[in-house]
Homo-oligomer: A and B are copies of this chain.
Amino acid sequence: MAILFRELERDKETMARRGELKTPHGVVETPIFMPVGTQATVKAMTPEEVWDMGGRLILSNTYHLYLRPGHGIIAGAGGLHRFMNWKGPILTDSGGFQVFSLGPLRKIEEEGVWFRSHIDGSEHYLSPEKAVSIQEALGSDIAMAFDECTPYPCTYDYARESVGRTTRWAERSKRARQREDQALFGIIQGSVFRDLRERSCSELVDLDFPGYGIGGLSVGEPKDLMYEVLEYTVPLIPADRPRYLMGVGSPDCLLEGVARGVDMFDCVLPTRIARNGTVFTRDGRLVVRNAEYARDYGPLDADCGCYTCRNYTRAYIRHLIKADEILGVRLTTIHNLYFVLNLMHNIRVAIGEGRFSAYKKEFLSRFRMN
C-alpha cells in the first residue's frame, strides 16, 4: 500500500495537525471539509464553482448512485469523475449509513443487508463485497468499508454486537478489493461506549487500513459527548493515517474536531440549510428568508469574500428564496460552502502559523449556531 497521508505540522496546544493526502486525482491539504455530492452533483453547483471556492475532495454516495442512475451507467461513462466532470479526488461512502437509516425498510443479517429503495420500493441487497464492487465501478479515489452505523441512543449490547459485525465486514471489504488505485478506509464504531470504541479501533488497526472513518457520531448525541468520544478514540489511530469524522460540518464542530485531531469531514448541513434560506455569518446562523431582511441592502456577511456577498444583497436573496427561484438556492449554497471551505483554509493557515488555539477561540467567541 503506497503512503497516502503525511503529517506536516502539529499544533503545540491541541491535537490539531496539518497534513496532505495523496490520491490518484491529486494531493489535498488537510484538515479538509468535503462538500457532499450525493447524486453525482454537489447540489445546485457546477464542478468549477466548487473548485473555484476551494473544494478539492468531494464525497458521493454509493447507495444513491447504485439506485440511480446505477453504477453500470457511471462505469460506462468512464467512472464517476468523468460522469460528473469533476477533476479532483472523490471519496465514496459504503452505503451503510443510508441503508441503516432506512429503519423498517431494511433487514440486517451477518451476510449483508436487505433493503427497499426509497425511490420505488424495489428490493435490494448490500454486502461488504457488493459495496466494494460498486465503489470500484464508480472509481472513487477513496472507498469506505461497509459498516453498521448504530443510532443514538442504542444499548450497550447492541453496540457491542454491531462492533463485532463491523470488524468482520471490514475484513471482508478488504478481501474483496480488486483495484489498486482505490484506497479503502475502515470505519470505527462503538457508539458512545469507550471500551467498544477502543475494541473497534484496535481490531481495525490490526487490519491495517490506510485511513479510518469515525462513524456513528453526529447522529443525535449531545456535542460534548461527541467531543469526548473523539478525545479517547483519535489517539488510538496510528498518527500516519488520516482520521475522518463522518457527517460533521457545522463550523463549531469543525473547529472542535480539528482540535481533537480530525483530518477530514463531510456534511450536508451547509448546503441543506442553504436551500432552506439559512446562511452562516461571522455571528452564527442567519435566516435570510425572514421578513426582517426584506429591505436589508447589505451582503449576507459583511466579512465574506464569496461571489454572493460581493454581488448581492440580503433583500434580493430573500426575494429569490421566497419566490422559489433557483438562483436564490445557488447564492446561499455558494455562500455557505465558501464559508466552511474558507474556515478550513483559515484553520490550516492558523495551524501552520502556530496560532490555532487563538483562532479557534476568537471564532467561537462570536459564532452562535442557534
A83 touches B315 (CB 8 A): yes
0 or 1 for each of A56-81: is its CB under 8 Å from B? (1 = yes):
00000000000011000100110000
0 or 1 for each of A26-48: is its CB under 8 Å from B? (1 = yes):
00000000000001110111100
**Which partner residue on chain B sits nearest A329 by CB separation?**
B326
B294 touches A326 (CB 8 A): no
Chain B residues with CB under 8 Å of A40's CB are 316, 319-320
23 A-B residue contacts at CB 8 Å?
A39-B319, A39-B325, A40-B319, A40-B320, A41-B325, A41-B327, A43-B325, A43-B326, A43-B327, A44-B326, A44-B327, A45-B327, A46-B330, A68-B323, A69-B315, A69-B323, A73-B319, A76-B297, A77-B315, A77-B316, A83-B316, A85-B316, A326-B326
Main secondary structure, interface of A, reads: loop
Chain B residues with CB under 8 Å of A311's CB are 85
Chain B residues with CB under 8 Å of A43's CB are 325-327
**Which 8 interchain pairs have the tightest Cβ spacing?**
A69-B319, A44-B326, A41-B327, A39-B323, A41-B325, A85-B311, A83-B316, A77-B297
Report the copy number of this chain in the oligomer. 2
A68 to B291 alpha-carbon distance, docked (Å)? 13
Chain B residues with CB under 8 Å of A319's CB are 39-40, 68-69, 73
In the complex, A156 has a CB within 8 A of chain B:
no
With A85-B311, A311-B85, A322-B68: A76-B327 Cβ-Cβ less than 8 Å = no
**Closest CB in chain B relative to A47 CB, distance in Å:** 8
Chain B residues with CB under 8 Å of A320's CB are 39-41
A316 to B69 alpha-carbon distance, docked (Å)? 9
A83 to B329 alpha-carbon distance, docked (Å)? 17
Chain B residues with CB under 8 Å of A323's CB are 39, 68-69
Task: Give me 16 other A-B pairs in contact (C-beta within 8 A), A44-B327, A83-B313 excluded.
Answer: A39-B320, A39-B323, A40-B316, A41-B327, A43-B325, A45-B327, A69-B294, A69-B318, A73-B315, A73-B319, A76-B297, A77-B316, A83-B316, A84-B316, A326-B326, A326-B329
In the complex, A295 has a CB within 8 A of chain B:
yes
Size range of the chain A interface in the assembly: 20 to 34
**Which partner residue on chain B sits nearest A78 by CB separation?**
B297
Question: Which A residues contact B (CB, under 8 angstroms)?
Answer: 39-41, 43-46, 68-69, 73, 76-77, 83-85, 294-295, 297, 311-313, 315-316, 318-320, 322-323, 325-327, 329-330
A66 to B225 alpha-carbon distance, docked (Å)? 51
A311 to B48 alpha-carbon distance, docked (Å)? 11
Chain B residues with CB under 8 Å of A85's CB are 311-312, 316
B295 touches A76 (CB 8 A): yes
**Closest CB in chain B relative to A315 CB, distance in Å:** 6
**Which partner residue on chain B sits nearest A313 by CB separation?**
B77
**Closest CB in chain B relative to A197 CB, distance in Å:** 36
**Which partner residue on chain B sits nearest A67 by CB separation?**
B323
**Closest CB in chain B relative to A270 CB, distance in Å:** 15
A68 to B322 alpha-carbon distance, docked (Å)? 9
Chain B residues with CB under 8 Å of A69's CB are 294, 315, 318-319, 322-323
